[in-house]
Every structure is written in structure tokens, then in C-alpha cells.
Amino acid sequence: MASYPIKIVEEGGIEYILDSIRKKYVRFTPEEYVRQECIRYLIEDCNFPKGCISVEKKIQIGDRFLRYDIVVYKDVHPWMLIECKAPTITINAEIFMQSLVYQHTLQAKYIMLTNGEQTICMDIANRKWMEEMVTWDEEIQ
């Protein structure tokens, strides 16, 4: 992913980064930075409509309530589930298994895992890792 200009403000010694989807400043953390970079990548490089991107929404999984990082909706259905991690967290099987917990409820077509330096995508329906990121306009059939 490319690096994009970000808006950061400081208040009371704490830094906040602008989330253009939630339209508010949120606490700046390494994971939040990756999430915001990912959002900009989806919009600016992959042509995803801003209105189809949902960030940190609560969903019920069994008797627990969890928050996913990003879900992209297409035709009102979850289309891509995105799990963001801090750059110091290695994308591995454990992270993939975490995303499958959300996937069980959401039933998205694609899963993307990123730490900002390493990004991998899976076509869930065809059970295959993808060599390139799927774009909004050029969905892999």
C-alpha cells in the first residue's frame, strides 16, 4: 500500500487521526494508522465507493459482541472483510483464523489481511489466495 497524507491532531498530549468514513478523529495507534491507510488505498487505488465501506462496527458472534476492522459492502451484502494489524504484528495463520470468526457471521466473498507492510487476500468462495488485490470494478470471477 502506498502512503497517503493523513490528518492528525493533538489534544491533551494524545494524538488523534481523522477517520474519513466515521467522520471523526479517533485515537492514533499503529493499528489505527494501518486501518486509515487501508481505507485510503481502497478508495483511491481500488475505486471502492466510500459509502460502501464500514469501519469498526459491532456484530454478534454467538453470545459475544465483537468489532470488525473494515467491511466493504456490495449490493448490500458483506463483500470483503478486512483485518488490520499494527506493522509489528506478522500476518500469519492465527490472524487468518481470527478473521474466520468474523467471516462465519458476515459471509463475505473476500478476506484481506494487512499490517500495512504485508497484505494478503483470499477468495473465500474459491478457497484460493489471490496474487493481486481485487478492485471494485475488476472483481475476479
Instruction: Tell me the per-residue pLDDT of 112-125, one tens digit each, with 9 for 90 and over.
Output: 999 999 999 999 98
Q: For residue 140, what pLDDT is reported?
A: 42
Q: Compute the distance between CA of residue 84 and CA of residue 37 in angstroms, rounded to an integer.
A: 10
Beta bridge partners of 122: 111, 129
User: What's the whole-model pTM score?
Assistant: 0.89
SS3 16: strand
pLDDT tens digits, one per residue of 15-41 = 999 998 999 999 999 999 999 999 999
- What residue segments make up the domains of the chain, in order of their start? 8-130
Reduced to 3 states, what is the DSSP secondary structure of residue 98?
helix
Q: Domain 8-130 class? A: alpha beta
Closest to 131 (Cα-Cα) out of 141, 118, 121: 121
- State the CB neighbour count (10 A cutoff) for residue 6: 13
| Cα 96 from Cα 111, distance rounded (Å) | 9
Q: What integer best gives the mean pLDDT of the chain?
A: 90
Cell for 70?
473494515
> What phi, psi does 136 have (nearest 5°)?
-60, -45
For residue 129, give the H/E element and its range: strand 128-130
